[in-house]
Amino acid sequence: MSDEVMIVPYDAEWPILFARLGCALRAALGDVALRIDHIGSTSVPGLDAKPIIDVQVSVAAFEPLDAYRGPLESLGYEFRADNTERTKR
């Protein structure tokens, strides 16, 4: 596994990829998600970036966990209980 960071030229597909992810997240989470935002460098038009779409899902409360854990796992996301940054689980 390489620790190299790959920066690529801006790709006009990034907002489209986020829109697809956002729709899937909205469908799975419903009203549990207060906001679903495209964040990070790929969200800035024209900016070279790591080709990874960063998404922030805002919820009213972290508990009960099952309100969002199950829907996210159904989309293939992985819960990382060992992440010490609760806001980045």
Range of the domain at 50: 14-88
Per-residue model confidence (pLDDT) at position 62: 82
Number of domains within the chain: 1
Q: At 81, which CATH number?
A: 3.30.460.10
Residue 47: pLDDT band with limits 50, 70, 90? very high
Mean predicted lDDT score pLDDT of the chain: 91
- Is 3 inside any structural domain? no
Would residue 4 count as lying in a domain?
A: no
DSSP letter for each residue of the chain? -------B---TTHHHHHHHHHHHHHHHHGGGEEEEEEESGGGSTT--B-S--EEEEEES-S-STHHHHHHHHHTT----TT-S-GGG-
In a domain? residue 72: yes
Tens of pLDDT, residue by residue over 56-74, are 999 998 888 889 899 999 9
**Is residue 8 assigned to a domain?**
no
* pLDDT, tens only, 9-46: 999 999 999 999 999 999 999 999 999 999 999 999 99
Residue percentage of the chain with pLDDT more than 70: 93
Q: Is residue 34 part of a domain?
A: yes
